[in-house]
């Protein structure tokens, strides 16, 4: 069988700047975000190295660094980067607002779920404000080029709904290699991706990589990572919104030491 062609790229209107992406995918906590949150919550609590406050780099964070950040350990030091200035600006604004006591309802919804996962009596407002206080930096950066992070500088790299938007498998492999570069040996790469060949927002269709388990596995093993978890989850959100795909992949990989 011939390999599937790389998807053609369509001109992209900025659904991040308009707020459409946030309104459709993050204003309430749907099935996909709950499943991704549980996976992130569990994966970032795996001990790495000698302990201490873990560092988490959100690669391709877009507007959602604080949204997913509430699910990380409560001493985690957070940073992120994204190619789109609108996504970076949105994240910076959410962080500043939370520090000032202004809370986005969508992130509050996520923070309430995070406190329930922890089983503590912390309020969603307190969780969101504490997470915002631990955000160290948010930069502009391209997943397929050298990331704005030093070698072996973080215990966790996370990425939610970003890697499938890379426009080639060559770029995808480059991004996996960058994740390996910035992770300490024994660190974890935690990746959430849509399945299918497109996603839809504000009535517009955006092509994505067709992320099969085989191709993702091959890219990770070459980085080098050891695959620890790969789950294909059918989305229940297709019943409530037009999104262009019907499943997502939840992936966790262990950063292997460099060969001697």
The domain segmentation of the chain, as residue ranges, is 15-44+53-255
**Domain range 15-44+53-255, its CATH number among 1.10.10.10, 3.40.50.150, 3.20.20.140, 3.30.300.90:** 3.40.50.150
Question: Tokens at residue 193, please?
Answer: 């991706």
Query: What's the alpha-carbon Rg for the chain, to the nearest Å?
Result: 17
> Measuring CA to CA, how many Å separate 232 from each of 32, 72, 96, 168, 213?
12, 22, 35, 21, 8
- Give this prediction's pTM: 0.93
On whether the CB atoms of residues 221 and 196 are closer than 8 A, the answer is no
Whether residue 24 is preceded by a cis peptide bond, meaning omega within 30 degrees of 0, is no
Q: Which helix (H) or strand (E) holds 114?
A: helix 105-118
Residues 56, 191, 126: CA angle, nearest 5 degrees:
45
Tokens at 5, concatenated: 């062609």
Task: State both tokens at 197.
Answer: 């060949």
pLDDT digits (tens, 9 = 90+) for 61-107: 999 999 999 999 999 999 999 999 999 999 999 999 999 999 999 99
Give the pairing of strands 225-234 and 247-255.
Answer: antiparallel
| pLDDT number for residue 260 | 55
Residues of the chain with pLDDT under 70: 1-13, 259-260
Q: For 11-79, give the DSSP string.
A: P---HHHHSHHHHHHTSS--HHHHHHHHHHHHHTTS--TT-SSPEEEEET-TT-HHHHHTTS-TT-EEE
Residue-level pLDDT at 6: 45
CA distance 216 to 186: 20
CA distance 63 to 24: 13
Query: What local confidence, expressed as pLDDT, does residue 8 receive?
Result: 41
């Amino acid at each position: 069988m011939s390999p599937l062609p790389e998807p053609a790229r369509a001109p992209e209107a900025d659904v991040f700047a308009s707020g459409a992406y946030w309104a459709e995918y993050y204003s309430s906590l749907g099935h996909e975000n709950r499943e991704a949150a549980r996976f992130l919550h569990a994966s970032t609590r795996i001990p790495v190295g000698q302990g201490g406050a873990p560092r988490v780099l959100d690669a391709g964070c877009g507007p959602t660094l604080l949204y997913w950040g509430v699910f990380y350990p409560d001493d985690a030091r957070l940073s992120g980067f994204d190619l789109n200035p609108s996504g970076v600006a949105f994240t910076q604004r959410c962080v500043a607002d939370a520090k000032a006591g202004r809370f986005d309802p969508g992130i509050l919804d996520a923070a309430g779920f995070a406190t329930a996962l922890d089983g503590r009596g912390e309020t969603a407002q307190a969780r969101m404000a504490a997470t915002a206080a631990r955000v160290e930096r948010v930069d502009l950066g391209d997943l397929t080029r050298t990331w704005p992070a030093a070698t072996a500088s973080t215990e966790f790299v996370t990425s939610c709904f970003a890697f499938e938007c890379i426009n080639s498998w060559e770029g995808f492999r480059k991004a996996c290699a960058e994740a390996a570069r910035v992770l300490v040996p024994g660190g974890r790469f935690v990746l959430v991706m849509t399945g299918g060949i497109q996603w839809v927002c504000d009535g517009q269709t955006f092509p994505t990589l067709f992320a099969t388990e085989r191709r993702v596995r091959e890219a990770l093993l070459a980085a080098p990572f050891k695959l620890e978890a790969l789950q294909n989850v059918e989305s229940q959100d297709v019943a409530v919104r037009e999104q262009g795909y019907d499943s997502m992949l939840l992936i966790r990989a262990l950063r292997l030491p460099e060969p001697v």
